Structure formats: structure tokens, C-alpha cells
Amino acid sequence: MGLFDKLKNLVSKKEKTETKETLETYEKGLEKTRDEFVSKLSLLGIKYTKVSEEYFEELENILIMADIGVNTVFKFMDAIRDRVKKEHITDTKYLQEVIVDELFILYVNNESLSDKITMADDGPTVILMVGVNGVGKTTTIAKLAYKYKQEGKKVMMIAADTFRAGAVAQLEEWATKTDSLFFGSENKDPSGVIFDGLEIAKKENVDIVFIDTAGRLQNKVNLMKELEKMNKVIGRIIPGAPHETLLVIDATTGQNGIIQAESFKEITNITGIVLTKLDGTAKGGIVLAIKESVGIPVKFIGLGEKMTDLQVFDIESYIYGLFKDMMN
């Protein structure tokens, strides 16, 4: 059985076992990408029934337009050409199945990258949230807090973004809305705020702590020093923490998001990526591009405005949302 058939089986299993709501969120959230990317792919299969150089050239353009990234597309095209040659593929309809296979292989890449959040065995799990301003970092913290509150966890938010005016008050408002504990102070050093906040988190037996940080990349040296200091303070109070450092990226910024990921990877240890506003772009291929460019797994994706629209990233559900029409 080929990988495409396995994916089809996985899709049908997911339709039976996963909550209908989750699959509908993926399906609806990736609608713009599916309409743009998959419809072009299907039309290409109608235009060319046989594999040719012209077919490859148009396929390459479609993939680049889906924001999969030029380097990733070149690597992907090499893999497609290789399989066409080895398997003597001439039919473009069958090649569409191979394309789905190879996109899946491209993301997984024989690695055991976990999309799961690393939870502390004892004491609070500390999740440091980083990212430039305007990517939806604060609302992402709120959505994650809501998710874990629904699972019965005791959640706390610490406002270590003391740089942006109104950032502390904004996070406090979300803490109130999600019934989470809150600690923040506008006129204090961010590491000092974290120190005091984590001491409270330990006393209050909090399960998960989200730390909001300042989102400026203009001066990488300053940000690196600030994050290093934060990490030292966090590790001193809770050994082994932070357990996760999640980078929030706005999917609608496309290749600029990849540049941000590369920049943040240079200055601190990023363990996972949260892609927001994926429903607002037709370039959902950025999921593949980011993983290929920086080698960091996408852990959550934002597929809408509602609190429940932030989903744990699942490559099979992503493939489902993207290629559902082709798998029927």
C-alpha cells in the first residue's frame, strides 16, 4: 500500500475517531489554501494528462505561490522528478498522489519531531512565548490558557513584556477572561517580574505558566541578552524550565515569518512554533516551509478567531484539510 492510500485510510479513521469539530476546523481553516493550491493542482492534471517538462514548470510555480518557499520547492521538485524516473510515472493523475506523499515525507523527514508540549514531571510547566509585535502573541496565550483550563489545569500568566505600552493590562484582561492567575508590573525589569511571578506560581501550585515577552527584533543583541537573563532566572526558580519556548508567527506574513523564525532561532532555543491566522491566507504551505527552513516543529496553528480555533498541529489533519477533495 502506498503512502497516499495510507493517508486516505488515516483520513477515514480520523473522520470516525476525531471530533467532527476538529476536522471541520482544519477543513474550514485551510479553505483558502485548498481553493488556491489544490484547485490549481487539479486543473494542471486536466491540462496535462502526461508528465512533461512543461507540467513540472507549472507545478513548481504553483508550489512557490503556495508559499512553500523556493529552496523547499527545489528540494521537493528533485524528489518528484526522482520518483517519476524511478517508478516510470507518466500519468499526471497518479502523480498527484505522489505529490501528496512527498509533501507528507517532506514534513516528517524521518524525524521524531514532537508536536506535543513537554510537561514538567513536578511543579509548574513553564512556557515562554516569544515573537514580534502584532503576530497575535497575547491572544495566543489566552487561547492556550483557555485550552488548558478546559482540561482542568490551573493556569497563570506572567506579563514580562514591560516595554510595550498597555501590554501588561492587555494580558491581565485575558487572564480575567480565561479565569487564570496573573502577575505583572509595568515599572519593573522583565526578569524581576518573572522571578516574583514564578515564586507565586510555586506557592499556588499552578500547573502551567505562560510568560509573555517583548516582541522586538530590531536590536537582536539586546533581545538575546534579555532572553538569556530570563532563562537563567526561570531555571533558578524552577530547575529544567522553561519547558517550552514557543515562537508565535503570523502565517499571513509569508516568507517574512520564516525570516523571523531564523532570527529567533539564532538568539534563543525555540522548541516549537505557533502559526496564527492560517485561515486568513491562501499560502498555507508556510507550514512546510518553516519546518524545512528552521527544523522546528509547528506545535499549534490558529484557524480562526474563536478560542477553540487554536489547534494542536497534526500533520495528518493538515494533509486532510489541504487535500480532502482529492482523497474522496
Helix, strand and coil percent figures for the chain, each rounded to 5: 60, 15, 30
**pLDDT greater than 70 at residue 206:** yes
In terms of domains, do 108 and 130 share one?
A: no
The C-alpha cell 531555571 sits at 235
Q: Please check whether residues 275 and 306 belong to one and the same domain.
A: yes
Boundary-marking domain end, from 60, 86, 112: 112
Last residue of a domain, one of 112, 139, 160: 112
**Same domain assignment for residues 49 and 76:** yes
Cα–Cα distance between 167 and 277 in angstroms, integer? Answer: 20
182, 157 Cβ separation under 8 angstroms: yes
In a shared domain, residues 17 and 49: yes
Global confidence as pTM: 0.90
CATH number of the domain that residue 18 is part of: 1.20.120.140
The predicted structure's pLDDT at residue 327:
65
Residue 174 lies in a domain: yes
Beta strands, E only, the chain: 125-130, 155-159, 181-184, 208-212, 244-250, 272-276, 298-302, 310-312
Q: Which of 112, 140, 166 is the C-terminal boundary of a domain?
A: 112
Average pLDDT over residues 132-157: 95
Band the pLDDT of 179: cuts 50, 70, 90.
Answer: very high
User: Do 160 and 94 fall into the same domain?
Assistant: no
The predicted-structure confidence for 219-254, as pLDDT tens digits, reads as follows 788 889 999 999 999 999 999 999 999 999 999 998
**Residue 118 is assigned to a structural domain of this protein:** no
What range defines the domain where residue 201 resides? 125-314
Which has the minimum average pLDDT: 111-115, 131-135, 286-290?
111-115
- In a 10 Å sphere around its CB, with 0-12 CB exposed, 13-18 middle and 19+ buried, how is residue 250 labelled? buried
The 10s digit of each residue's pLDDT in 50-64 is: 999 999 999 999 998
Query: What is the CATH classification number for the domain harbouring 134?
Result: 3.40.50.300
Residues 6+ apart with CB under 8 A from 258: 69, 286, 289, 290, 293, 294
For residues 307 and 276, give the distance between their C-alpha atoms in angstroms, rounded to a whole number: 12
Query: Are 129 and 271 members of one domain?
Result: yes
Query: Stretch 16-41: mean pLDDT, rounded?
Result: 82
Amino acid at 57: E
Mean pLDDT value of segment 185-205: 94
pLDDT of residue 162: 86
Residue 103 vs residue 111, higher pLDDT:
103
Both 192 and 232 in a single domain? yes
- pLDDT-based confidence at residue 49 (cuts at 50, 70, 90): very high
Residue 1 — pLDDT band, cuts 50, 70, 90? very low
Residues with Cβ < 8 Å from 205, sequence gap 6 or more?
154
Q: Which pLDDT score is estimated for 113?
A: 56
Is there a single domain that holds both residue 134 and residue 279? yes
Number of domains in the chain: 2
* 108 plus 129 within the same structural domain: no
Q: Is residue 320 part of a domain?
A: no
Residue 117 belongs to a domain: no
For residue 319, the model assigns a pLDDT of: 83
- Residue 317: what pLDDT? 83
Mean of pLDDT values over 134-157:
96
Q: Is the pLDDT of residue 112 over 70?
A: no
User: Does the structure show a pLDDT above 70 at 15?
Assistant: no
| CA dist., res. 57 & res. 154, Å (int) | 53
pLDDT of residue 320: 80
Give the CA count within 13 Å in the CB-facing half-sphere of 28. Answer: 14
Place of cell 498555507: 284
The per-residue pLDDT for 11 is 60
What local confidence, expressed as pLDDT, does residue 109 receive? Answer: 73
Rounded percentage of the chain residues whose pLDDT exceeds 70? 92
pLDDT value of position 37: 86
Q: What number is the average pLDDT over the span 66-78? A: 89
One domain, residues 63 and 190: no
- Quick one: cell of 194? 518573572
